[in-house]
């Protein structure tokens, strides 16, 4: 494993206190530093193969790669002898279950996650803001010219992926969430290739784009620990068993996404430790981070209601409602977001706190009351609740899990 000095890691990440954190957590910090220079060899080889052409003579189109993914109804249904070597190796590795993986435990985590899925889905905005704190997240967007372009589409596509990846059973091998995750993994490899080979990305100065360490932070801190912390702030409580199951679910998602197993949490306490270390770094956000956060607040949401009217009329009404509510919602989202961001980082990102951030405190009695009613069975079984929550969120996202093939690749990037 490549070693890296603390000075180098600090320069790449913008963490001005890397030395202090490394002294407190030497093993964690050393592995995180090494991960800054590591990509995803299996996915990167597929993209290299894509550009080189099959056997150097027959060009392999991106459609060939997508068609191979779409055909993965079951691992046994694949015809590996017709696939290019790197793609075959990628799919073979993705189809092998690690020894630690327990499908039943992952499904239990998905059911617990979706018990209050509408709240968990809303934490996506905080996960994105969390990512924007780090230069390694913002610089690839800056280099590809996608700082403010397509913010709404990016939020929607990420939300659709999270919904598929966490829906019970959808991350089983060959199922839509698993396929979508592999597709995103290959898109990440495509971005890496583009930045390094065509944009002149300085790996020595900036680390590998979309590297292992940022993959670890995204999965463990951004999508696991942060949403659970936000849920706790709202008054949502999970049992110890539920926390372990949710952790197992995200560990599996991270594995399929290509994050090295030694960087993924083995337990909830392990995830908490990774999150503590990640949060201990005092980041200096890239100037582009403020631009990304502003774009998220300006164009990262819509006020839409399912109206039983002709599309033209419904769109006109929703457009008018959004125009009226947008200033209030923007202020609300901005203010609430400051609850889970350090003050100096919030200032660097352009987030301003107002008394509206206390809406979380006002919401706690409602959340706790709902949980009491759930516990005594007023809303039916937890399975029924999770199914209703999942249906509510996916309907808002324009997804139909009863016909997942129709949405298999729609809007996910």
Query: Residue 68 has which token pair?
Result: 């191979």
* Average pLDDT of span 234-240: 93
pLDDT at 43: 95
Name the DSSP class of 54: B
255-313 pLDDT, tens digit each:
999 999 999 999 999 999 999 999 999 888 888 888 889 988 888 777 776 667 777 77
Mean pLDDT value across the chain: 85
Q: Tell me the CB-side half-sphere exposure of residue 26, using CA atoms within 13 A.
A: 1
pLDDT at 287: 84
* Average pLDDT of span 25-32: 93
The beta strand positions in 256-349, using DSSP E, are: none
Query: Residue 51 has which token pair?
Result: 């550009």
| Residue 163 confidence class, pLDDT cut points 50, 70, 90 | very high
Please state which of the ranges 128-132, 214-218, 383-387 shows the lowest mean pLDDT. 128-132
pLDDT at 395: 86
Closest Cα partner for 341 from 282, 298, 287, 296?
Answer: 282
What is the DSSP code string of 321-348?
Answer: HHHHHHHHHHHHHHHHHGGGS-HHHHHH
183-192 pLDDT, tens digit each:
999 999 988 9
Task: Characterize 77-107 residue by residue with b for buried, 16 or more Cβ atoms within 10 angstroms of its Cβ, and e for exposed.
Answer: ebeeeebbebbbbbbeebbeeeeeeeeebbb
With a CB cutoff of 8 Å and minimum separation 6, the contacts of 399 are 160, 163, 164, 407
Query: Residue 405 has which token pair?
Result: 């093939």
pLDDT at 285: 84
pLDDT surpassing 60 at residue 76? no
pLDDT at 145: 66
pLDDT at 312: 79
pLDDT surpassing 60 at residue 128? yes
pLDDT at 54: 46
pLDDT at 361: 93
Please state which of the ranges 249-253, 317-321, 335-339, 353-357 shows the lowest mean pLDDT. 317-321
Closest Cα partner for 18 from 210, 278, 349?
Answer: 278
pLDDT surpassing 90 at residue 178? yes
* Average pLDDT of span 127-147: 81
pLDDT at 405: 52
362-412 pLDDT, tens digit each:
999 999 999 999 989 999 999 999 999 999 899 888 888 766 554 443 433
Distances (CA, A) of 167 to 19, 77, 125: 40, 23, 19
pLDDT at 14: 84
> What percent of the chain lies above the pLDDT cut of 70?
87
pLDDT at 147: 63
Query: Domain residue spans in the chain?
Result: 6-35, 100-407
């Amino acid at each position: 494993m490549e070693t890296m000095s603390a000075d180098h890691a600090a320069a790449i990440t913008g963490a001005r206190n890397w030395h202090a954190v490394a002294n407190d957590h030497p093993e964690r910090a050393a592995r995180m530093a090494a991960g800054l220079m590591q990509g995803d060899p299996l996915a990167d080889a597929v993209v290299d193969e894509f550009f080189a052409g099959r056997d150097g003579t027959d060009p392999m189109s991106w459609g060939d790669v997508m068609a191979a993914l779409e055909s993965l109804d079951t691992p046994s249904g694949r015809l590996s002898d017709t696939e290019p070597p790197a793609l075959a190796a990628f799919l073979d590795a993705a189809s092998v279950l690690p020894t630690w993986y327990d499908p039943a435990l992952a499904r239990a985590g998905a059911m617990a996650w979706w018990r209050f899925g509408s709240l968990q889905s809303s934490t996506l905005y905080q996960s994105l803001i969390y990512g924007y704190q780090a230069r390694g997240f913002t610089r690839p967007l800056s280099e590809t010219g996608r700082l403010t372009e397509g913010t709404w589409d990016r939020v929607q596509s990420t939300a659709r992926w999270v919904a598929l990846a966490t829906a019970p059973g959808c991350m089983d091998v060959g199922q839509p969430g698993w396929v979508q995750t592999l597709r995103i993994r290959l898109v990440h490899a495509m971005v890496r290739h583009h930045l390094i080979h065509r944009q002149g990305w300085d790996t020595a100065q900036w680390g590998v784009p979309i590297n292992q360490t940022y993959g670890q932070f995204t999965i463990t801190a951004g999508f696991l620990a942060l949403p659970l912390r936000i849920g706790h702030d709202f008054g949502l409580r999970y049992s110890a068993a539920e926390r372990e199951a949710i952790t197992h679910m995200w560990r599996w998602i991270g594995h399929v996404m290509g994050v090295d197993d030694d960087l993924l949490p083995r337990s909830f306490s392990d995830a908490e430790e990774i999150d503590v270390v990640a949060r201990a770094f005092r980041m200096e956000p890239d100037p582009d981070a403020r631009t990304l956060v502003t774009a998220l607040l300006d164009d990262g949401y819509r006020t839409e209601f399912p109206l039983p009217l002709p599309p033209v009329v419904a769109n006109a009404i929703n457009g008018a409602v959004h125009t009226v509510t947008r200033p209030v919602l923007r202020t609300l989202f901005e203010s609430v977001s400051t609850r889970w961001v350090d003050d100096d980082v919030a200032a660097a990102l352009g987030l301003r706190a107002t008394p509206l951030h206390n809406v979380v405190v006002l919401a706690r009695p409602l959340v706790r009351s709902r949980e009491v009613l759930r516990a005594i069975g007023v809303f039916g079984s937890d399975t029924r609740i999770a199914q209703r929550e999942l249906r509510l969120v996916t309907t808002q996202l324009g997804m139909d899990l009863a016909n997942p093939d129709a949405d298999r690749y729609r809007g996910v990037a």
